Chain A
Amino acid sequence: MLRDITIGQYFPGDTIVHRLDPRTKILIAIMFIVSLFFIKSFYPYLFILAFVVLTVRLSKVPFRYVLKGLKPLILIILITFTINIFMTKGEVLFSIGPLDVTKEGIRQAVFMALRLIFLITGTSLLTLTTSPISLTDGIEKLMSPLRRFNVPVHELAMMMTIALRFIPTLLEETDKIMKAQTARGADFESGNIVKRAKNLVPLLVPLFINAFRRADELAIAMEARCYRGGHNRTRLNELKFTRNDVLVLIITTVFFGVIVSTRYI
């Protein structure tokens, strides 16, 4: 069950997509998201679909894997879908009780659902092909101009790195504690919501205690190695834009520019 979470999970590989500079990929992801919100008719989605399919192909991440990222969000997609169907005014097709289903409603619902689906698949492609460490490196580099305004960019990036680094550790730990309590007859899977929430206590208490203990140990270990934060700190792997990055950026900028412009023609 816990293994179904693919958001933020890296799918190792050595393809052209994996090798791109994280900054390139972050910028593309931002352009991707922005252009999604500019789309107002259906046919530009074809371009978006082509883009997603091409990226998935190039990155050799199995499709099944990308789709798995949708699973935890299916409920949200369904809710937006139903709300849109019933809440849009227009030409009434048929009614269910007091609720009217309109032609515009159906169009809007499908449209919004597609937007959400592409939003999720597109962005999870970023995290699937970029290791968390290089992702935060990229974010840190991209945000570094903000340092002039006293934004603690490095510290923020470090916090993100640590948080990402500990997601799998905490998941593993959750799994372990769950098993240990299950071995003592605990039941996490049946009963109503109140009962289930109560049943989580034997899981959450040790999980929190262990998380704090870990944080404490990590802080001490970092201090022991003289960690002092961003100022004058050099890095092991400097990020470098290659010709590929420049090329990909130019192509994608033009591509997303076209998609945005479809709104105005």
Chain B
Amino acid sequence: MIIRLENVNYIYNPNTPFEKKALDNINLTIDETDFIGLIGHTGSGKSTLVQHLNGLIRPTSGRVLVDGIDTKDTGNLLKVRQKVGLVFQYPEHQLFEETIYKDVAFGPSNLGLSQDEVHERVKTAIELVGLDFEKVKDRSPFELSGGQKRRVAIAGVLAMKPRVLVLDEPTAGLDPKGRDQILGRIKKLYEEKNITIILVSHSMEDIAKLVNRIVVMHRGKIVMDGKTKEVFKQVEKLEEIGLGIPQITNFMRKFKEKGHPVDDTVITVEEAKMELIRFLRSKENA
């Protein structure tokens, strides 16, 4: 267990006509080995939930524990924010320094580390997101392409050496190449650096490809929580709340309905390929 939410409620603008209950009695435990996909349509409370994870928002009632630290304890917030890195939507809009080096160094400098340690972390973080440290360190972040800017922004969070990394739609507005690069890097972080990852996304394909657990939110509540395949099996329930399943899973379901005995729980194109090959071979042999 690394993060635990207990009976968390959150209300925006309480006691005004704009009052809105964004989180409704959330109970959630996040383990170190989790790679969570957080899905739900716009306004379901995903963003509010992720901001609770590092104490940017504190619950109206209930509590959030990060590694045993209650986020209501304001003296320890810097520690919480170091442990849980949060990458917002369009993080490149938050770049501000003259050089990429300085921008990435902003986080670790705020932690009060020594110059050498900061340097080391900046170098590692920039390399982790797949940029050439020597080439980019003295350039202005505003000269870069959209995808590169975003990677610099993610590096800015990684330089804090978080144990949990939360990414809110990290691929929104990127071209396919930029998207694949970012997702590839995230996967590497999970596999090689053992960072717990929480990915908010609207792309069921990306979710299917990467995560091992899905949490589904609807109207401020967690309505489903389970292994990727288990959640994608419940098509009707997902469609009822305006979500879907990966296109390839949909295809396999339709194909099965046509009377072909294939496994319709596959969720990635790669799996589907293997399954179809198996199916065609068995037909040949019959």
Contact = CB atoms under 8 A, between A and B. Distances in A.
A185 B110 CA distance: 5
Interface residues of A, number: 21
Given A184-B157, A185-B110, A206 B56 contact: no
A184 B96 contact: no
A108 B117 CA distance: 62
A9 to B, nearest CB: 10
B96 A180 contact: no
A206 B93 contact: yes
B147 to A, nearest CB: 18
A187 B56 contact: no
B156 A176 contact: no
B111 interface: yes
B102 to A, nearest CB: 11
Contacts of A186: 106, 110
B81 A183 contact: yes
A217 to B, nearest CB: 13
Contacts of A3: 13
A200 B110 CA distance: 14
Interface string B1-37: 0000000000001001100000000000000000000
Contacts of B54: 183
B59 interface: no
A169 to B, nearest CB: 13
A202 interface: yes
Contacts of A202: 94, 96, 106
A179 interface: yes
Contacts of B91: 180
Contacts, number: 55
Contact of A206 (B82, B96, B107, B157): B96
A86 B203 CA distance: 67
B94 A185 contact: no
B60 interface: no
Contacts of B157: 183-184
B82 A185 contact: yes
12 contacts: A11-B17, A65-B16, A177-B94, A179-B51, A181-B94, A183-B85, A183-B157, A184-B107, A184-B160, A185-B78, A185-B107, A201-B96
Interface of A: 3, 11-12, 65, 176-177, 179-187, 201-202, 205-206, 209-210
Given A179-B56, A180-B91, A186-B106, 14 more contacts: A180-B88, A181-B94, A181-B106, A183-B54, A183-B56, A183-B85, A183-B157, A184-B106, A184-B157, A185-B110, A185-B160, A206-B93, A206-B94, A206-B95
